[in-house]
Amino acid sequence: MPKHIRTRSGNPSYRILHTLLSFALIPAIASPQAPTEPVLGEKLAHEYEKQAGLGNTPELDGISGYINSVGSRLTSVLSSHLQYHFVFDLNPAFKSAFALPGGYIIVGGGLLALT
């Protein structure tokens, strides 16, 4: 994993990413989940990955693993028993994150660069 990605919970970058992922989770926390939401979210996430041209490389897998580890620590304290899935979009112009139904969270590469 790139050196600039490796962080600890005391690092300001980690805290910023943690805070931003918290905001992305607000829609998922605020509304109860319908049984079809996980299926819809998975379809939408796969469609997003396909249209954005996201692929797998060892470096992207490392970054995705980092985002999933931060997100998993954050979601572990939620009262919801929803399984969250984090998808990394490496586009540097995408400086945000958004939630899809069923616990799918898309995180932009520009957001990670800002942190």
Q: pLDDT per position in the chain (115 positions), as tens?
A: 444 444 455 566 666 666 666 666 655 555 555 568 888 899 999 999 988 888 888 888 899 899 999 998 988 888 877 889 999 999 999 999 999 999 999 999 999 898 8
The domain in which residue 80 lies consists of: 12-31+53-114
Please state the domain count of the chain: 1
Q: Does residue 57 belong to any structural domain of this protein?
A: yes
Query: How many whole angstroms separate alpha carbon 115 and alpha carbon 112?
Result: 5
- Domain membership flag for residue 3: no
Task: State pTM to two decimals.
Answer: 0.67
Cβ atoms of 90 and 113 within 8 Å: the answer is no
Residue 5 lies in a domain: no
